[in-house]
């Protein structure tokens, strides 16, 4: 059953990351973070972009470190799971670098 956990890891990571970024976005807009600047640029998009990149890094690790054994179908499923999560995180959170944050 370990392979099932490996298969679910990618999508679960997406779920966590998506909730975290979405939560951060809501919190930031409610607390007027976009107006606050840090030396590295505006706080709000900055924080979300950072979180996103960290998440993508974790996804990269998952994909790279995948050592699933077992039958061919099992390996295919684990690999697909990893990629489903990675692509989902990349695409659904892409707007953090594209759109304006609280407008």
Partner 1 sequence: MTEDQHAIAPNPPRKALLLHRQLDRVWSDLPGWRGTVCSVNHGTIGLRFMATSFAFFAIGGVLAMLIRAQLATRDGAFLDTQLYNQIFTMHGSIMMFLFAIPMLEGLSMWLLPKILGARDMAFPRLGALGYWCYLFGGIIILSSLLFGVAPDGGWFMYVPLSGKTYSPGINADVWLLGVTFVEISAVAAAVEIIVTILRLRAAGMALTRMPLMGWYMLGTAAMMLVGFPPLILGSILLELERAFDWPFFEVMRGGSPMLWQHLFWLFGHPEVYIIFLPAAGVLSTIIPVFARVPILGYGAIVAAILGLVFLSFGLWVHHMFTVGIPHMALAFFSAASALVAVPTSVQIFAWIGTMWAGRVELRLPMLHVAGFFLTFVMGGLTGVMLAMVPFNWQAHDTHFVVAHLHYVLVGGFVFPILAGITYWMPMISGRFRVRALGETAFWLILVGFHGTFFLMHLTGLLGMPRRIDRYPDNPEWEWLNLISSIGGMVMAMGFALFVLDIAMQWLFGRRSHRNPWRAPTLDWAMALPAPSYNFASLPGPGRDDAGAILPLARGEGLLPGAPRNRREVLVTDAGTGRPSHVAVMPGNTALPIWTAMVLGSFFLLMLAGLYVVTPLAIAAILWAGWQWGGFMGSRADAPAIQAAPGLSLPEHWQVRQTLAYSGTVTLLVADGTLYASLLFGVGFLTVIAPNWPAPVSGLGLGALLTAGAALSVMTVATLAARLAETRRATPSGAGFALAGVLAAGLALVLLGGLAMLLDDPRRHARDALRAVLLGYSVFHGVVALMLGLRSLCDARQGRTGSQRRGAAPVWQLFQTFWLTTSVLSLGVIAVQEIG
Partner 2 sequence: MLIGSGLITVLVLALAGLAVWRGPRPSDERRWTIWWGLGFSMSVLAVLLAFALWAGERMIARDDGALQVQAEAQQWGWRFVQPGPSGPVETEGVLYVPAGQPFDIVLTSRDVIHSFWVPQLGGKMDAIPGHRNVHRLMADAPGTHEGLCAEFCGIGHAAMRFEVVVYDPAAPPPFVSAESLP
Q: Is the CB of 26 or the CB of 41 nearer to partner 1?
A: 26
Q: What is the DSSP letter of 99?
A: S
Q: Is the CB of 16 or the CB of 80 nearer to partner 2?
A: 80
42: left (phi over 0), alpha (psi -120 to 50) or beta: beta
**How far apart are CB 29 and partner 1 at their closest, in Å?**
6
Contact code string over 47-76 relative to partner 1, x by CB under 8 A: -----------------------xx-xx-x
Among 55, 58, 81, 86, contact with partner 1 (rule: CB under 8 A): 81
Count of positions (residues) in the chain: 103
Euclidean distance between CA atoms 29 and 25, whole angstroms: 6
44: which residues sit within 8 A by CB, 6+ positions away?
Answer: 25, 28, 29, 33, 34, 36, 101, 102
Given partner 1, partner 2, none, residue 41, with its beta carbon under 5 to 8 Å by kind, binds: none
- Binding of partner 2 at residue 73 (CB under 8 A)? no
Answer yes or no: are the C-beta atoms of 11 and 62 closer than 8 Å: no
Q: Is the CB of 2 or the CB of 91 nearer to partner 2?
A: 91
- Binding of partner 1 at residue 80 (CB under 8 A)? yes
């Amino acid at each position: 059953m370990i392979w099932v956990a490996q298969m679910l890891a990618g999508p679960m990571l997406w779920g966590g990351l998506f909730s975290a970024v979405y939560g951060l976005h809501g919190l930031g807009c409610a607390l007027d973070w976009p107006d606050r600047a840090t030396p590295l640029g505006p706080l709000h998009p900055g924080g979300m972009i950072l979180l996103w990149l960290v998440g993508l890094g974790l996804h990269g690790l998952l994909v790279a470190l995948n050592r699933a054994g077992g039958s061919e179908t099992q390996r295919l499923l684990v690999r697909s799971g990893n990629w489903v999560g990675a692509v989902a995180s990349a695409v659904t959170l892409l707007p953090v670098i594209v759109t304006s944050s609280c407008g």
